[in-house]
Structure 1
Amino acid sequence: MIATEDQARAYVAGLCDPPAMERLDLLIRALAEENERQNLVARATLPSVWLRHIADSAQLLEYVPRETGPWLDLGSGAGLPGLVIAAMRPDWPVVLVESRRKRIAWLERMRDELALEHCRIEGARLENVDSAPVGVISARAFAPLARILTLSSRFSTSETLWLLPKGRSAAQELQELPKGQRSLFHVEQSRTDPASGIIVGRLAGRKRP
């Protein structure tokens, strides 16, 4: 279990190269500044930003092979986890979906400042984003699990990996799914919070074109 800022930073450094760590340092500084203008994250979490936000996002990479299709991050908000993933894997296509105007502006500015050429911001409600098959779907504090699956299944093939950090509600939300869907997912314990879980799985569906 990762318990301190030093441990969190070391953990993230083990998942990426030095240029990615420089991008993350820039992101953290900008996040603290922007948080004075809009409430991107709870102010009380900023002293433990590596643990609470960066490592918490970065741990999703452990479930994803080095070669994967586009990564779709729903309700990106402050860029967690999608912007962190894009900063750590700048060669991957990462799509950040966000409908709130100020958050869209923040994500676009950070994409440009971090020079993330393969990161795209979809400034719209998810319902208005064109369907396309993706390799990974992530969402952190976006919607209840059943709602996420309903809204996002059109982006999913049988190969799409779903990575959904759900905090302490993970097991309960999974149990509330219909039995047929429930069997396709499981809960992994978060590395950054012993009481939190990540819902991981694949939906049965169409094959990737």
Structure 2
Amino acid sequence: MLYVSRETREKLNRYVELLLKWNSTINLISKTDERVIWCRHIADCHRLCSYIPAEPYSICDMGSGGGLPGVVVALSRPDLHVNMIESDRRKAVFLSTVCQDVGISATVLNARIEDVAPIQADIVIARALAPLHRLFALGIQHAKPSSKYLFLKGKNADYEIEHARAEWDFSLIKHESKNGAGSMILELGNVRHA
């Protein structure tokens, strides 16, 4: 169950409506996930908000795709400004449409992550984008030394963590995801090259 205000629920409902409508032409989520969108996608992304401090923060969502997790975080935490980076033009148009439609405080950047000028975000987030060592390589240019990283990961998370430690030093807290199947949220900080 997702506990949010009535206004937030209405905006999330509208986002889901748009996501499902656009999904038929630009493949934002798998067709089989459409019937479980609330538990598989919305609730899972909403959990990131539990690990974002109360102060207003700048967020960088790398590889935003259909807005998971960036749109969900922006709708759940309107005090945040979310920068969503998406290289696929059609998906970037979708994100811009959603932001305008539901009134999200966000910037949509239609470019490759490597090509975007440094954002200096307080928190870097991503879901289903790349292995952990690659996420660090992409995210560090958009972060500050004090930034926190929140990544939604699947059953290979432990392998990715060990692999990343060969190249990177970082602090780590693992949070079990309610999504099941060994998925988790990785809360990372103090990221620097080993």
- In 1: Cα distance, 2:142 partner to 2:116 partner: 10
CA contact (8 A) 2:83 2:107 kept: yes
**Partner residue, 1:70:** 58
How many pairs does the alignment contain?
Answer: 192
CA contact (8 A) 2:49 2:77 kept: no
Q: Which amino acid aligns with 2:118?
A: S
- In 1: Cα distance, 2:173 partner to 2:133 partner: 14
CA contact (8 A) 1:72 1:134 kept: yes
Determine helix, strand or coil for the equivalent of 2:146: coil
Unaligned stretches of 5+ residues in structure 1? 1-9
Determine helix, strand or coil for the equivalent of 1:191: coil
Unaligned stretches of 5+ residues in structure 2? none
CA contact (8 A) 1:157 1:204 kept: no
Q: Which residue, out of 151, 167, 183, partners 2:154?
A: 167
Q: Which amino acid aligns with 1:30?
A: L
CA contact (8 A) 2:169 2:190 kept: no
Q: How far is 1:78 from its partner?
A: 0.6
Report whether the alignment pairs 1:148 with 2:129. Answer: no
Determine helix, strand or coil for the equivalent of 1:47: helix
Within 5 Å, give how 1:21-100 maps onto structure 2. 21-100=9-88
Determine helix, strand or coil for the equivalent of 2:168: helix
Q: Which amino acid aligns with 1:112?
A: Q
Q: Which amino acid aligns with 2:145?
A: S
Q: How far is 1:33 from its partner?
A: 1.1
- In 1: Cα distance, 2:31 partner to 2:77 partner: 27
**Partner residue, 2:6:** 18
- In 1: Cα distance, 2:32 partner to 2:17 partner: 15
Report whether the alignment pairs 1:202 with 2:189. Answer: yes
Determine helix, strand or coil for the equivalent of 1:35: helix
CA contact (8 A) 1:156 1:203 kept: no
Report the more deviating stretch, 186-195 or 92-101. 186-195
- For normalisation by structure 2, the TM-score amounts to 0.92
CA offsets 1:144-169 (integer angstroms, 9 cap, x no match): 11111112212222321111111111
**Partner residue, 1:112:** 100
**Partner residue, 1:135:** 122
Determine helix, strand or coil for the equivalent of 2:40: helix
CA offsets 1:104-135 (integer angstroms, 9 cap, x no match): 1100100000111x211011111111113211
The ranges of structure 1 where at least 4 consecutive aligned residues each deviate by more than 6 angstroms after the TM superposition are none
- In 1: Cα distance, 2:111 partner to 2:167 partner: 31
Q: Which amino acid aligns with 1:115?
A: G
Q: Which amino acid aligns with 2:106?
A: C
- In 2: Cα distance, 1:113 partner to 1:174 partner: 38
Determine helix, strand or coil for the equivalent of 1:165: strand
RMSD between superposed Cα atoms in Å: 1.6
